[in-house]
Amino acid sequence: MPFNKPPKSYAEQVEILKGRGLLIPDEAFAEHCLRHHNYYRLSAYRFAFTTPGNPDQFIAGTSFDNLWGLYCFDRRLRLLVMEGVKRLEISVRTNVAYTLAHTYGVFSYEDPAFFYNRYRHTKGLATLDEELRRSKEIFVKHYHDEYNLQRPPIWAACEVMSFGLLSRFYENIKAARVRKTLAAEYGLAPHTMKSLLLHAVYVRNLCAHHSRLWNRRFTITLALPHHQPTALVTSLNPSEDRRIYNTLAMLAHIVNIVEPENHWSHRLRALLHAQTYPVTQHMGFPADWEMRPLWQKGKL
């Protein structure tokens, strides 16, 4: 079947939304939002406000402000999540470099003997070499020119690696005691740490591409801890393993370790409380989440 739908002007897009029952008291504002945020990006948020079984019919009384408010909430949520992931990423870069350098040596990341899978290790080094070639960092040129090194020592290499590559290097470390040492820095078991890194890379990529986050069902999930640390375990919601609540809980736990005097949890709570739409019901939050120990710690 040939596609023959013509493009719609912003004014026509407003009329489509109105025809589906959306109240738009300020059409100029709605057109402005559509001009800069794309109809299909915004329309992905309509499902919270449409009648069951008919995603093209808005619930009576729904206004463009409701739709726009949810879109803005998700945007602010992505910024908070990105901030939490950055805390994790920078800390893990530091600890992987420090632990491997002090355990096996400053160029141990080049040696396949320290990794499970030689093919993945070789592929990872090839990716790193490409990242080093593209890098504009002064320290990369310094190690190459001053010491005639193809690859810099691990503390510099870890700064050039993408977060995805770093997570794959961690996953491939052979020695259980090294993986245990790295995970213990965050009070986690090695398998939980591995899962957290892979999940964090996935979520970071969603945020980087401005994808809808708040009510998404994740395809790459977390392996949740079952015993320790107690404050985290008792604050998780295992029954909602594909929703973002457990991601937020894990990030809150990590940020509390990396930066003990942070206000990340407080800012998340403030963002959630500012919403008129019951967002937490679609994010996997347990009803009593604020009473659980992890969130009590961050309460101001």
Q: What is the pLDDT of residues 175-199, one digit of tens each?
A: 999 999 999 999 999 999 999 999 9
Long-range contacts of the stretch 143-148 (C-beta < 8 A, 24+):
none
State yes or no: pLDDT of 167 exceeds 90: yes
Can you give the pLDDT at residue 296?
87
Q: Got the DSSP string for the chain?
A: ----PPP--HHHHHHHHHHTT-B-S-HHHHHHHHHHH-HHHHHTTGGGGEETTEEEEEPTT-BHHHHHHHHHHHHHHHHHHHHHHHHHHHHHHHHHHHHHHHHT-TTGGG-GGGBS-HHHHHHHHHHHHHHHHH---HHHHHHHHHH--SS--HHHHHHHS-HHHHHHHHHHB--HHHHHHHHHTTT--HHHHHHHHHHHHHHHHHHHTT---TT---SS-----SSSSHHHHTT--GGGTTSSHHHHHHHHHHHHHH-TT--HHHHHHHHHHT-SS-GGGGTT--TTGGGSHHHHHT--
pTM exceeding the 0.85 threshold for the entire prediction: yes
State yes or no: pLDDT of 39 exceeds 90: yes
Q: What is the pLDDT of residues 192-249, one digit of tens each?
A: 999 999 999 999 999 999 999 999 999 999 999 999 999 999 999 999 999 999 999 9
Q: What is the pLDDT of residues 52-81, one digit of tens each?
A: 999 999 999 999 999 999 999 999 999 999
Phi-psi region of 233 (alpha: psi -120 to 50; beta: other; left: phi over 0): alpha
State yes or no: pLDDT of 300 exceeds 90: no
Average pLDDT over residues 172-176: 95
- Mutual angle of helices 190-208 and 163-172, in 10-degree steps: 160
